[in-house]
Structure 1
Amino acid sequence: MDLLVTYDVETATPQGQRRLRKVGKVCEAYGHRVQKSVFEVVCREADKVRFIAALQGAIDPLQDSIRIYRLPAHALDDIEHLGKPRLIDPRGPLVI
């Protein structure tokens, strides 16, 4: 499945800054960063369950927000892009 993941983590405190780094690391383990807080993820259902559990453990649900958009199959193969070229194949190998 193809997912688009965005997040907004409150960073006014040192704890918030740690949560931001942790959310980024979790997302990097599952997908490719395409903007500062936007990731493209290609995964199976079982991976999605683990991914969401890891994200839930990384945030403060009263202060932080994560949005996960489930896209149609292979939607990440057909993206209109403007500006700096996309250097990553969303279905290519994920280097951790």
Structure 2
Amino acid sequence: MMLVVTYDVDTTNASGQKRLRKVAKICERYGMRVQNSVFEVLFDAAQLVVLKHELEKIIDTEQDSVRFYRLGNSYERRIETMGKRPRVEAGGALIF
């Protein structure tokens, strides 16, 4: 299933900036960054549980937020892009 993962981390102090970097690194391991705090991720249910657990350990639930939008398995018909596109579409072939 395709998910869109977005996050907003409070960076008004040094600890928030550190959390932001950690959240970004975790999301980069699982998916493709399509905007600054937005990732497209192809997952199964077990991988989603692991991602949520990892992020839960990092974020400050009083100041930060992470949102998961489930696009499902027929996500190709649900994504429209205007302007700059990612180098590789999610699920696309990597050719070097």
TM over 0.5: yes
- Aligned residues with identical type, % of pairs: 49
Matches of 1:14 and 1:20, distance apart in 2: 10
1:11-26 correspondence to structure 2 within 5 Å: 11-26=11-26
SS in 2 for 1:54: helix
Instruction: For 1:29 and 1:92, locate their aligned partners in 2 and report how far apart those are by CA, in whole Å.
Output: 17
Q: Specify the alignment match of 2:31 in structure 1.
A: 31
Alignment of structure 1 residues 5-84 onto 2, 5 Å = 5-75=5-75, 77-78=76-77, 79-84=79-84
The amino acid across from 2:32 in the alignment is H
The amino acid of 1:4's aligned partner reads V
Provide the C-alpha distance between the structure 2 equivalents of 1:58 and 1:67, rounded to a whole number of angstroms: 14
Tell me how far apart the structure 1 counterparts of residues 2 and 45 of structure 2 sit (CA, whole Å). 10
Runs of 4+ in structure 1 deviating by more than 2 angstroms, as ranges, are none
> What TM-score, normalized to structure 1?
0.89
Q: Unaligned regions of 5+ residues in structure 2, if any?
A: none
Please report the RMSD computed on the Cα atoms of aligned residues, expressed in angstroms.
1.5
Distance 2:2 2:92 in 1: 13
CA apart distance, 1:88: 1.6
Q: Structure 1, unaligned stretches of length 5 or more?
A: none
- The total of aligned residue pairs comes to 93
AA partner of residue 80 (structure 1): E
User: Separation in 1 of the partners of 2:47 and 2:36?
Assistant: 22
Structure 1 counterpart of 2:2: 2
Distance 1:40 1:70 in 2: 10
Per-residue deviation, residues 27-49 of structure 1 (Å, max 9, x unmatched): 00110000000000001111111
